[in-house]
Amino acid sequence: MVEIESERDTMHVILVFSALPTMSTLPDVFTDPEDSQLVAEAKKDKLEDHKFSYTERDVILYNLGIGATAKDLQWTYESHEEFAALPTFGVIPQFAASSGISLGWLPNFNPAKLLHGEQYLAIKSPIPTEGNFVNETRLLEVLDKGKAASVTTIVYTKDLATGNIIFENQITVFIRGAGGFGGKRSGKDRGAATAVNTPPNRQPDAVIEEKTSPSQAALYRLSGDYNPLHVDPSFAAIGGFDQPILHGLCFMGIAGKHVLQSFGAYKDIKVRFSGVVFPGETLVTEMWKIADKVIFCTSDIHFIFRADIKPSFIQPLRQRSGEQRCWPQQQ
């Protein structure tokens, strides 16, 4: 769970393990007796599955978008024997499916008042470096916050051929001015997706510093998020910013990369967005090893970003020209 320490500058983030799903498909409706009639009816509107394909080029483009360099051949050169997608690539295949959901049924809905509040990603299987996938999308939870609505969507990204679940994403958006419709005001415990963890009060066990590029947002947007807020100064000014801001999912990926470099792979990441980063700013990630978790804090002048993870022994699965490489089950 995230704690906001200032209106603009701070976010805390939690990364934790969760078990593999027992279902291979999502239920048609996530019913809840506490839902208002408006929400119950909205949940019945089954969303169409959304197909998505990507190639090694898309993997490289994403890796570059969150700070990989030409020296990181395992992330930027498709012929490298350890070529792989960085773990947070899992937010990419589902993006069009989750962002395309209609929220027009909410009272006083205004898309200009929508904020991306939280993102939870669970890596359920080794990440292919190319393939064809299908996204199953459902409304998971809707909360009436009084002056705002909180809407959480769940997306399973599955291999189109095998049906294996590769990623689970839970995406929460806040819509200002769209509350007052009745029903639930507080969400239920969803395990890792809503877990609370507190960073320790001691010196970190590892630190990584990275300066983002002034062109970071212009590069990251090529992975599918074309919101002009991140590239057009005049549009950013409408939002009250002096310049375009960096995508939240971009600096989430940078922080996740730092943890991967220091402590190895992880299987879950959950973030809450409550501050902004500008392209060109320097990020510093401090990390603490606590039992089987790593808690980290990524910060610059403008924000603090904390998380915790457990290490994972799952390695990427590479599929090219009929070739399949299995992953070791232990180090």
CA distance 181 to 125: 39
Averaged pLDDT for residues 93-104: 93
Query: For 232-248, what is the mean pLDDT?
Result: 90
Determine the average pLDDT of the residues in 251-274: 89
Q: Is 247 a catalytic residue?
A: no
Most confident of 4-18, 201-215, 239-253, 275-289: 201-215
- Please report the sign of the dihedral spanned by the C-alpha atoms of residue 55, residue 58, residue 210, residue 118: negative
Determine the pLDDT at residue 310.
53
Assessment of whether the complete model's pTM goes beyond 0.85: no
Q: Which of 288, 88, 270, 306 is nearest to 195 (CA)?
A: 270
Summarised one tens digit per residue, pLDDT across range 178-194 is 999 998 999 999 988 98
256 an active-site residue?
Answer: no
Question: What pLDDT does residue 115 have?
Answer: 86
* Cα-Cα-Cα-Cα dihedral sign, residues 301, 304, 310, 312: negative
For the chain, give the mean pLDDT: 83
Choosing from 225, 268, 300, 308, which is the catalytic residue?
A: 225
Burial 271-291 (b: 16+ CB within 10 A, else e): bbbbbbbbbebebbbbbbbee
Average pLDDT, integer, range 13-20: 40
Q: Which residue has the higher pLDDT, 248 or 155?
A: 155
Report how far residue 216's alpha carbon sits from residue 214's, in angstroms, rounded to the nearest whole number.
6
Contact 281, 300 (CB under 8 A): yes
Residue 323 confidence (pLDDT) above 70? no
230 among known catalytic residues: yes
CA–CA gap between residue 21 and residue 300 (Å, rounded): 36
Residue 210: which residues within 8 A CB-CB, separation 6 or more? 67, 254, 258, 282, 283, 284, 285
Using 50, 70 and 90 to split pLDDT, how confident is the model at 37?
very high
State the Cα–Cα distance between residues 258 and 254, nearest whole angstrom.
6
Q: What average pLDDT score do residues 213-239 get?
A: 93
The active-site residue out of 230, 247, 300, 309 is 230
State both tokens at 167. 């990623």
Query: Identity (one letter) of the amino acid at 90?
Result: G
Give the whole-angstrom CA distance, residue 322 versus residue 296: 39
Q: 314 pLDDT band (50/70/90 cuts)?
A: very low
245, 295, 304, 309: which one is catalytic? 245
pLDDT in tens, 141-180: 999 999 999 999 999 999 999 999 999 999 999 999 999 9
Q: Give which of 286, 283, 285, 271 is closest to 201, Cα–Cα.
A: 286
Query: Is 225 a catalytic site residue?
Result: yes
